[in-house]
Amino acid sequence: MHPVPLVATTRGYPPDGELAGGYAVENIHYGSIAVVDVAGRLLWSAGDPDFMTFTRSALKPFQALPFVLDDGPARFGLSRAELALLCASHSGEEKHLVGVTSILDKIGLDESHLACGCAAPLYYDAVGLPVPAERRWRTAHHNCSGKHSGFLAWCRLHGAPTEGYVDPAHPLQARSAPRSPTACR
């Protein structure tokens, strides 16, 4: 449960989307949207177009772009589901673990190469279940393990070192960082 009333966190922001399960709406997402042209001129908005926020996981598709543009998914035989894992956060369900493990297998690495750390999966909180105390978590459970698998795949594709791939001075970061701000131009 959220200690802050939902109304306090959404006041003034229109609903941006709904998630339905069967016949019921399970989630309503509120927020602000701004569509701008290359020069930064506002073309359309909903909510507060000047609201500042962190992009966080919304950047994952842009971070995967260098690997995709360099034909990495085809070179390693990644499926569409595996490509989706490179571009999104996941909830640590079995299908996500299988996908991350498959990507790592295809590039000749294993979970010990992932620099995202280990975290309990988001799945339990998302479905309202208690986290099993006896369960041991793997690095693949981390919601960013798909993105990190993609980073490692880029390294393997280009012969770059897999060690230190999250360091800003690593060739991967030099290749992917500049692309994010200019991807829409």
CA distances from 47 to 30, 33, 50, 162 (A): 9, 7, 9, 42
**Domain of 167?**
59-176
181 within a domain of the structure (yes/no): no
Least confident of 3-12, 49-58, 109-118, 121-130: 3-12
Q: pTM of the full predicted structure?
A: 0.74
> Using one digit for the tens of pLDDT, what is the confidence trace for 84-116?
999 999 999 999 999 999 999 999 999 999 999
Specify whether the CB–CB gap between 82 and 140 falls below 8 A.
Answer: no
> Using one digit for the tens of pLDDT, what is the confidence trace for 128-179?
888 888 788 999 999 999 999 999 999 999 999 999 999 999 999 888 765 5
Residues 65, 117, single domain; the answer is: yes
Residues 165, 120, single domain; the answer is: yes
Q: Name the percent of the chain lying above pLDDT 70.
A: 88
Specify the higher pLDDT residue, 77 or 8. 77
Q: How many domains does the chain have?
A: 2
Residues 75, 15, single domain; the answer is: no
What is the Cα–Cα distance from 109 to 157, expressed in whole angstroms? 12
Residues 74, 39, single domain; the answer is: no
Residues 78, 144, single domain; the answer is: yes
Residues 154, 107, single domain; the answer is: yes
